[in-house]
């Protein structure tokens, strides 16, 4: 007897609800919390515009590994670290303005490629466990990064700008001002609508990335990745070098994440040397999942819907928490809870669906065999 899988229910309504459970729950949550927070519509639009331009690039960098079947790439943290290293160097050399930004990108790219390659190799050796491994790898690299930045810089790596060093003489400070390149891309093409500053150049860059991703899907490499993502064996038989393709998808993702982090930091204007990249992975992945993506499928609309929903929740939580329980701190914890909870829920849902479908496949085959034998 085949267990009727919920995902194969005839009723398209139920199917829609299950496939998009996460965003739907989110919309409800947000709709509930917005009036609670008492923030104005104008404030929202301004915040959302800001966050869209700031975070989208990073989240877009997650799409390619999903295409190649690598799941949610926690390795984007490595890309973020590469970007931060680039920024540390330009701050050390005191390069400002657009040249500074471009130089940071130039320097951090090879670092990102190397880290991405390393991550790709490790993930290839943990097939079937990519997400946990990626997650732990990010923590591990954080340790190496600390070794490098907290102990190596100023010591083995000469730093001439002492204002970014810790008082003890070596090791970078916890928080570096990026004043020299602050909003340098955002303000490149200034456009003001009423009171709101629209970062035209940044948005153009994000749009360019979207176009790149759409184009990439159609290239041979992109098609190869999709085949690898569908089924490793089929890909191998068609002559695709599965291992290399997977590594490539991670490298691309890491480099994009590197740029994304630089973009993010240039908007904020300060860099938390040791904290900025920690939450990058979790928040980006949570946002993508909130936008309706799954471990096996993620597209561009998921990114933007995710940013809007997730960041609205972000903005709203502290105030709503205060209004509800009198403690803004509650809102903070709620934010973190929701981020982790969304990932846990999406992953569990996805894993469950995957299993149920596999079971059904198996049972179908067994029944077919049985019916053949019975003849």
Partner 1 sequence: MSKRIIIRTTLVAVLILIGIFLYTIGKEHKVLIDNKDISVGNVICSASTTYVVRVDDQEIGVIKKGERNVAMVTGTSHKIVVEEIKGNVLTGEKHEKRFKLKTSESATINIPAMINNANEWIDKTN
Partner 2 sequence: MKKNIQNIIENFGLPRIIIFLFLVLLFILTPFVGIRFDTSINDVIVRFGMNGILVLSLIPMVKTGCGLNFGLQLGIIAGILGAVTSIEMNTTGFTGFFTAIGIAIFFAFVFGSLYGFLLNKVKGDEMVVATYVGFSSVSFMSIMWLVLPFKSPNMIWAYGGSGLRTTINTKGYWFHVLTDFLQIKVGSHIVFPTGTILFFALLTFLVWAFFRTKIGIAMTVVGSNTDYAKSCGINVDKMRSISVILSTVIAAIGIIVYQESFGFIQLYTAPLFMAFPAVAALLLGGATVGKASIKNVIIGVFLFQSILTMTPSVINNVIKSDMSETIRIIVSNGMIVYALTRITRVRT
Pairwise CA distance, residues 85 & 339, whole Å: 27
Taking CB within 5 to 8 Å according to partner kind, which of partner 1, partner 2, none is near residue 368?
none
The separation between CA 224 and the C-alpha centre of its own chain, rounded to angstroms, equals 22
List, in order, residues 6 or more apart from 165 with CB less than 8 Å away.
153, 154, 159, 171, 172, 173
Q: Which residue has the tokens 């989208």?
A: 56
Binding residues for partner 1, per CB under 8 A? Answer: 90, 93-100, 102-103, 106-107, 180
Q: Binds 144, which of partner 1, partner 2, none (CB < 5 to 8 A, cut-off by type)? A: partner 2
Task: Work out which of 14, 325, 365, 366 binds partner 2, going by CB under 8 A.
Answer: 325
Taking CB under 8 A as the criterion, which residues in 191-210 touch partner 2?
A: none
Which of partner 1, partner 2, none does 294 bind, CB closer than 5 to 8 A by kind? Answer: none
Distances (CA, A) of 222 to 214, 236, 240: 10, 15, 12
Q: Is 267:183 a contact under the CB 8 Å cutoff?
A: yes
Q: In terms of CB distance, is 125 or 364 closer to partner 2?
A: 125
Backbone angles phi, psi at 177, to 5 degrees: -80, 130
126 binds, among partner 2, partner 1, none (CB under 5 to 8 A by kind): partner 2
Closest distance of CB 107 from partner 1, Å = 7
Judged by beta carbon, residue 94 or residue 125, the one nearer partner 2 is 125
Least separation in angstroms between residue 204's CB and partner 1 is 20
In this complex, which beta carbon is closest to partner 2, that of residue 2 or of residue 144? 144
CA distances from 33 to 28, 47, 139, 171 (A): 9, 16, 33, 42
DSSP class of residue 152? I
111 interacts with, out of partner 1, partner 2, none, CB within 5 to 8 A per kind: none
Would you count residue 43 as binding partner 2 (CB under 8 A)? Answer: no
CA distances from 74 to 59, 61, 188 (A): 11, 11, 31
CA dihedral over 221, 223, 229, 234, signed as positive or negative: negative
Least separation in angstroms between CB 180 and partner 2: 29
76 binds partner 2 (CB under 8 A): no
- Contact positions with partner 2 (CB under 8 A) in 124-153: 125-126, 128-129, 131-133, 135-137, 139-140, 142-144, 146-147, 150-151
CA gap 296, 71 in Å, rounded = 6
User: Rounded to whole angstroms, how far apart are CA atoms 187 and 3?
Assistant: 58
Residue 97 interface partner, choices partner 1, partner 2, none, CB cut-off 5-8 Å depending on type = partner 1
Contact between 21 and partner 2 per CB under 8 A = no
Query: Which residue, 142 or 360, has its beta carbon nearer to partner 2?
Result: 142
Q: Out of 43, 215, 352, 368, which residue is the one contacting partner 2 (CB under 8 A)?
A: 352
Question: 213 Cβ partners below 8 Å, 6+ apart?
Answer: 60, 63, 64, 300
245: three-class secondary structure by DSSP:
helix
Which residues are paired to 165 by β-bridges?
172
Instruction: Please give the Cα distance from 288 to 188 (Å, whole number).
Output: 28
Q: Which of 333, 364, 368, 369 binds partner 2 (CB under 8 A)?
A: 333
| Binding stretches for partner 2 (CB under 8 A) | 122, 125-126, 128-129, 131-133, 135-137, 139-140, 142-144, 146-147, 150-151, 168, 325, 327, 329-330, 333-334, 336-337, 340-341, 343-344, 347-348, 351-352, 354-355
């Amino acid at each position: 007897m085949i267990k009727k899988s919920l995902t194969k229910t005839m009723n398209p309504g139920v199917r829609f609800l299950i496939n998009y459970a996460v965003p739907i729950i989110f919309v409800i949550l947000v709709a509930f919390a917005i009036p609670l927070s008492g923030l104005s519509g104008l404030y929202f639009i301004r915040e959302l515009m800001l966050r869209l331009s700031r975070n989208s690039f990073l989240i877009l960098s997650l799409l390619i590994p999903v295409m190649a079947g690598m799941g949610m790439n926690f390795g984007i943290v490595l890309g973020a670290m590469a970007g931060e290293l680039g920024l540390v160097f330009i701050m050390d050399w005191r390069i400002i303005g657009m040249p500074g930004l471009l130089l940071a990108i130039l320097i951090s790219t090879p670092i990102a490629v190397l880290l991405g390659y390393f991550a790709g190799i490790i993930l290839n050796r943990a097939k079937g466990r990519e997400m946990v491994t990626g997650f732990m790898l990010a923590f591990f690299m954080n340790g190496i990064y600390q070794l490098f930045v907290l102990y190596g810089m100023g010591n083995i790596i000469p730093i001439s700008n002492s204002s970014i060093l810790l008082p003890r003489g070596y090791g970078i400070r916890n928080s570096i001002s990026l004043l020299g390149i602050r909003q340098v891309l955002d303000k490149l093409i200034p456009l003001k609508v009423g009171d709101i500053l629209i970062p035209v150049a940044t948005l153009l860059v994000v749009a360019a990335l979207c176009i790149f991703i759409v184009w990439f899907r159609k290239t041979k490499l992109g098609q190869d990745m999709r085949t690898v993502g569908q089924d490793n064996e089929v890909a191998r038989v068609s002559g695709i070098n599965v291992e290399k393709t997977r590594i490539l998808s991670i490298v691309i993702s890491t480099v994009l994440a590197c740029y994304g982090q630089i973009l993010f930091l240039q908007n904020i204007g300060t860099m938390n040397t040791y904290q900025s990249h920690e939450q990058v992975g979790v928040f980006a992945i949570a946002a993508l999942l909130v936008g309706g993506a799954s471990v096996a499928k993620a597209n561009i609309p998921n990114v933007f819907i995710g940013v809007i929903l997730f960041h609205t929740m972000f903005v709203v939580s502290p105030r709503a928490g205060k209004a509800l329980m009198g403690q803004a701190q509650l809102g903070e914890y709620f934010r973190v809870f929701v981020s982790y909870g969304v990932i846990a829920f999406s992953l569990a849902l996805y894993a469950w669906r995957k299993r149920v479908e596999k079971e059904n496949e198996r049972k179908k085959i067994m029944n077919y065999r049985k019916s053949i034998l019975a003849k």
